[in-house]
């Protein structure tokens, strides 16, 4: 078998990659330059610093205790969860979201909506399948144990759209 000679620069990253074009404010470009002289590496470094973990080091769905015997569900970013029109993902830390449902929404509605999303996933959506599967199992288990309830949070209008 003949090996094809590769020309050009060697790849910067070992994992799957693709070129993109993005327009950024000058201030951000200067900050990225301070992180690394190579803009692509600076963006990767800034993203890693902002999120603070590798995806495999933090659970996609987490139960975080807020007071003794009570916890909230925190999920990683999910494009598919954003398809549920009445569900809001409140970012409480980089890449960590609180699930916010409207007053009067039954917990079972969220469980069914997540189940429906799982049914519609494409085979290559591994991340979404893992996150939604973990969330669905947690919701189903806690509902069956009658171990889930709702509480209200305060929301204020920010004037932004």
- 3-state percent breakdown (helix, strand, coil) of the chain, nearest 5: 40, 15, 45
The reported pLDDT for the residue numbered 58 is 72
| Structure tokens, 159 | 């004037």
Please report, for residues 70, 130, 136, 153, the alpha-carbon distance to residue 127 in angstroms, rounded to integers and kept in the order given.
28, 5, 14, 29
Rounded Cα distance between 87 and 105, Å, is 10
The reported pLDDT for the residue numbered 59 is 84
107 contacts: CB under 8 Å, gap ≥ 6: 139, 143, 148, 150
The reported pLDDT for the residue numbered 144 is 94
Mean pLDDT by 10 residues, the chain (161 residues): 61 82 91 88 81 66 91 93 95 88 94 97 92 96 92 83 65
The reported pLDDT for the residue numbered 115 is 97
The reported pLDDT for the residue numbered 160 is 72
Q: What angle do CA 153, 157, 158 make, to 5 degrees?
A: 120
| Structure tokens, 42 | 């600076």
Rounded Cα distance between 29 and 23, Å, is 10
Strand order, beta sheet including 96-100:
61-67, 70-75, 96-100, 88-93
């Amino acid at each position: 078998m003949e090996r094809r000679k590769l020309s050009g620069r060697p790849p910067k990253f070992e994992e799957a990659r693709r070129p993109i074009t993005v327009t950024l404010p000058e201030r951000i470009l200067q900050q990225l330059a301070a992180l690394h002289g190579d803009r692509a590496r600076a963006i990767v470094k800034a993203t890693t610093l902002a999120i603070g973990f590798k995806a495999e080091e933090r659970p996609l769905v987490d139960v975080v205790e807020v007071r003794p015997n009570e916890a909230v569900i925190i999920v990683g970013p999910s494009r598919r969860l954003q398809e549920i029109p009445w569900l809001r993902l409140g970012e409480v830390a980089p890449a960590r979201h609180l699930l916010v449902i409207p007053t009067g929404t039954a917990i079972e509605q969220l469980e069914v909506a997540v189940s429906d999303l799982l049914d519609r996933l494409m085979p290559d959506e591994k991340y979404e399948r893992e996150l939604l599967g973990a969330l669905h199992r947690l919701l189903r288990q806690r509902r069956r144990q009658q171990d889930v309830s709702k509480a209200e949070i305060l929301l204020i209008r920010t004037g932004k759209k």
